[in-house]
Amino acid sequence: MSKRIWVEAAINGAWGKERQPGIPITIPEIVADGIAAVEAGAAIVHLHVYDVETGRQRDDWELYAQAIEGIRAKVDAIVYPTIPILGSGYAGDIVGSGRYTHLEKLAKRGLAEWGVLDPGSCNWTTFGGIPDGEPGFIYQNPGEHIREGMEVAQRHKVHPSYAIYEPGFTRLGAALAKAYPAMPQAIYRLMFSDAFAWGFPPREWALEAHLRLLAEDAAEAPVMIAGLGVDLRDLIGPAVARGVHVRGGLEDAPFGCEKSNAALIADTVRLVEAAGGQPASAAEVRAALATMEKSERR
């Protein structure tokens, strides 16, 4: 029987069109790309919204609501927002009292099933910029911010999507999750890169290292490969063989990618199927998470 693999589409990203000219910016563009990605085989859509005049991220719950409602009006999908990348020039304005204000407002309205929650901080610098003196920045997730996100997730039954930029994120995320036993099951999204000088490159040995750590700290948790400025095609087969889920789309693709989100997801689906997997539907993803949580409560 084919493994049911969750395919996520990350359709835009924090930096606007600077690094990915083809990303959707306006709400109608975001909705259209989200729908197309689901029709190409994605069960999950991750998105950012923007101030259209500046092209910068703007974490306004009403903008997210328009995008999420627009996609879900046409297709069944898990659609979830990002959080501000604190410490960077890409964060935009933090709307309201904190970084999870928009997520809480969406959850109260039944519009957030998942939410980004990154359990750790790290330096972000591109390999290409280092020779030119690029200083980069520190992506900041202080402990009180992580706990704020966990409290929102626990209160509103939102699944945290952990971006694992460094192995320590797994250890901290797993340890803190035990302090929030009513928080829904977290998804461990392993972040690889060819462009940024953090984490691991997209290699099978690196995937294996992540999985060995997860086996010790969060053995039953769902795992997904993802990244930024990266070509994950060679890692999809090894991931599917291990029952690991897959993310694609213009947020993750090598900078300057000329393919559309729909084309990238169609390519991802083909590779998943070639490796013996079968893309799961949104309903199957929800059901799998519910089964995991029932098993944990026994």
**Residue located via tokens 């490796």:** 275
pLDDT of residue 1: 56
Q: What is the mean pLDDT of the chain?
A: 95
Check whether 96 has a pLDDT greater than 70: no
Is the overall model pTM greater than 0.85, yes or no?
Answer: yes
Higher pLDDT, 277 or 296: 277
The span from the CA of 126 to the CA of 232, in Å, is: 18
pLDDT of residue 298: 54
Contact 83, 100 (CB under 8 A): yes
Tens digit of pLDDT for each residue in 153-197? 999 999 999 999 999 999 999 999 999 999 999 999 999 999 999
β-strands 159-164, 245-248 pairing? unpaired
Identity of the residue numbered 289: L
Domains of the chain by range and CATH?
A: 3-297 (3.20.20.70)
> 222 vs 31, 252, 288, CA distance in Å?
27, 19, 9
Q: Which helix (H) or strand (E) holds 233?
A: helix 233-241
Q: Is the four-CA dihedral 264, 269, 184, 186 of positive or negative sign? A: negative
Burial of 281 (0-12, 13-18, 19+ CB in 10 A): middle
What residues have CB less than 8 Å from 134, skipping those under 6 apart?
A: 125, 126
Return the HEC string of 121-189. CEEECECCCHHHCCCCEEECCCHHHHHHHHHHHHHHCCEEEEEECCHHHHHHHHHHHCCCCCCCCCEEE
Higher pLDDT, 86 or 122: 122
Lowest-pLDDT choice from 83-97, 245-259, 279-293: 83-97
Tens digit of pLDDT for each residue in 108-166? 999 999 999 999 999 999 999 999 999 999 999 999 999 999 999 999 999 999 999 99
Check whether 270 has a pLDDT greater than 60: yes
